[in-house]
Amino acid sequence: MESMTAQQLAKLNIKGIKIAQPYGRLLGEPEKNAVIFIWGEKGAGKSTMSLGLADALAEHGRIEYIPAEEHFGKTLVDRVKRLGATHQNLNFTKWKSIQALKEILLKNRSFACILDSISVIDANAKETVELAQWCRENGIMFVMVSHATKDGQYKGNTSIAHECDIEIKVTKEGGAETEKNRYRELTAIAVPFMAQDREVKPANLAAKEETNPDTRENPVDTPFKITLKKLDTLHKIRSWKRINSMFGSKMPCYAPKHSGESENAHLSIRYTADYPKKRYIMDLLLDGHLEYQACTEGKGGGLKACWKKLVNKYGDLEIRIYKQDHAKVVLGAKEYKRQERALGKKEKSTATNSPAPKAKKKPAAKPKSASDELKEKSTKKSTSSVNKPQQQVDIEAAKESQAKLDAFLTKVLG
């Protein structure tokens, strides 16, 4: 149908798909034919993120995962084992060509296709966008993975980002953050690097946690506070958007237009770069109001220099973290796991050092008088007599024996 009225459109009921945690918290409920774009620096964990997502999507149908760069090598096998990505619907396919991939997807009636990475097509060519459009038209979810350039941007032209419904950036700190999402507000999670990190749980428990994510086990008690100095030591700051993902009163404060400001933000950053004049400005916003402005110029200027000035001035400024998902992003994967190990050791030590429960002492018996002893003996005798079973007499047997005795006496005496 090429045209429909507003009333017809309002009657449509298009349902999204539910994805297992923690990927569902990042993606929301996308459509079946959504296009997802994952990118990041070398070694950040893009393939780990895409493989875990592929295994989660396998609940809905057959998945074609194309490891175009690794093929079926040791690194892929190790990653599958580490993530526990062994769903029966997850299938790995060798890369041949775009036409061969289309034939496989139609033949197998695949639910989704994950291409890791699009460099085999040439990210700058129009074929990448055309493949994404073809998958959308055929009702197939398409997940494409790409590398980042030295400038911290993804490889390829801007048409890729325009075509996708969800854009995910994987950072070297172990986080995955949405730069664009048509299905929910922008948020971030820690990339699951192990099978236990994926929180595979029963559907009813997962539904409860979706409404109340704070019910999950977490080594960090929320709410808690952290200073800018502590953040600076935990993370290598490469992007002002990354800074804003760690700020905010209740969740990472990304705005719909990626400005970094949010209505409910406790703290946010705004960065302006004038590259021709080599002037760089970083604004610190508290509750939406400008609090401080850090300016740098020349070769020594830029994001890192502005951030350093900000930390020197407002290093003791505290951020309050309310949600456990946010806590994992703020602390980073390494610090989070360190606290998790520390908590485990603490629980073990308390379990081993805890003294055994003492047996309760029986109260000392009171001395008995002579009258009490006589009473006890009488009650024992009465109960023993009552409890003894009475001997039953067989009347027929007695009559028979008496008859034999009478016959014997008659014979002898007669």
For residue range 261-306, what is the model confidence (pLDDT) as tens digits? 554 556 778 888 888 888 999 988 776 678 899 999 998 899 999 9
3-class SS of residue 264: coil
pLDDT of residue 206: 43
Rounded Cα–Cα distance for residues 221 and 213 (Å):
13
> Exposed, middle or buried by CB within 10 Å (0-12, 13-18, 19+), for 66?
buried
Nearest to 247 by CA among 215, 278, 204, 291: 291
pLDDT of residue 203: 41
Q: Which two three-digit tokens encode residue 321?
A: 């973290």
Rounded Cα–Cα distance for residues 153 and 222 (Å):
34
> Exposed, middle or buried by CB within 10 Å (0-12, 13-18, 19+), for 244?
buried
Note if the bond before 389 is cis, omega within 30 degrees.
no
Low-confidence ranges of the chain (pLDDT < 70): 1, 122-125, 151-152, 155-158, 199-219, 222, 248-266, 287-288, 322-325, 346-348, 350-394, 412-414
Residue count of the chain, please give it.
Answer: 414
pLDDT of residue 89: 94
DSSP state letter for 242: H
**293 strand-pairing partners:** 283
